[in-house]
């Protein structure tokens, strides 16, 4: 995990770096003492998170965050002031540590942060890249309503829009659609169980999606599909 330390006191930055020595998963990639230098180092190093002091001489750490509304890094405030916690929450702070830092509290914060970043990375790795005109869009698998095979291609349906992708249905199942929500109902269609509206009970087994699209379930798949639907 890459971190930038922002504190107007050099001694405080050094103490924090010493405390971080035993955390091999953390790499200090930059430090700053004021708003201007902090913005520069954040933009150049792209950290996973920052340690941020509230008071930076005549400025505040919040001034940095105001300049970066689309930030992707997590924020851990490290400060001597305990009366800014509510404001920190409004800035979506991950944690709020008071000086002097308690090593045990720091360890718990870093452990939780590591889990969050790992989960976030895993989710991003699982996103499907699709092309729409000159744009490339990222789709989260849970957004997908259903996928229909089209030879060596597949058509992905999301919120009334379809995207063609140069992967077979089997490829998509292997790479992205492996969780229990997705159900293969016949040779050419995979549906997201979360988007099933209703299904028939008779010999003719069909399912209706939330967008009112109706699909027939193959006889061979009927028992398996019913089992997965009833498990949800």
Per-residue pLDDT, averaged over 128-132, amounts to 88
Q: Which domains does the chain carry?
A: 2-125 (3.40.50.2300), 128-231 (2.40.50.1020)
Task: Give the model confidence (pLDDT) of 179-191 as tens digits.
Answer: 778 999 999 999 9
Judge if pTM exceeds 0.85: no
**Residue 69's Cα: distance from chain center in Å?**
17
User: Which residue has 């058509």 as its token pair?
Assistant: 155
DSSP structure string for 113-174: HHHHHHHHHHHHHTPEEEEETTEEEEE-GGG--EEEEETTEEEEEETTEEEEESS-HHHHHH
pLDDT tens, 151-172? Answer: 999 999 999 899 999 999 999 9
In the predicted structure, residue 218 carries a pLDDT above the cut 60 = yes
How far apart are alpha carbons 188 and 1 in whole angstroms?
42
């Amino acid at each position: 995990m890459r971190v930038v330390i922002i504190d107007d006191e050099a001694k405080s930055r050094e103490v924090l770096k010493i405390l971080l020595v035993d955390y091999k998963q953390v790499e200090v990639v930059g430090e700053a003492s004021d708003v201007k230098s902090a913005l520069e180092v954040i933009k150049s190093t792209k950290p996973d998170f920052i340690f941020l002091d509230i008071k930076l001489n005549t400025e505040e750490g919040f001034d940095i965050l105001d300049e970066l509304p689309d930030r992707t890094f997590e924020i851990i405030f490290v400060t001597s002031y305990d009366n800014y916690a509510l404001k920190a929450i409004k800035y979506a702070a991950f944690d709020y540590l008071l000086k002097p830092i308690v090593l045990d509290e720091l360890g718990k914060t870093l452990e939780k942060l590591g889990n969050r970043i790992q989960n976030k990375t895993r989710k991003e790795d699982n996103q499907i890249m699709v092309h729409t005109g000159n744009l490339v869009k990222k789709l989260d698998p849970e957004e997908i309503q259903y996928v229909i095979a089209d030879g060596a291609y597949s058509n992905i349906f999301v919120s009334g829009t379809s995207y063609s992708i140069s992967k077979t249905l089997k490829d998509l199942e292997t790479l992205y659609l492996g969780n229990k929500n997705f159900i293969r109902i016949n040779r050419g269609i995979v549906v997201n169980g979360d988007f099933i509206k209703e299904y028939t009970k008779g010999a003719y087994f069909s399912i209706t999606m939330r967008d009112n699209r109706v699909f027939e379930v193959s006889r061979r798949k009927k028992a398996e599909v019913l089992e997965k639907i009833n498990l949800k």
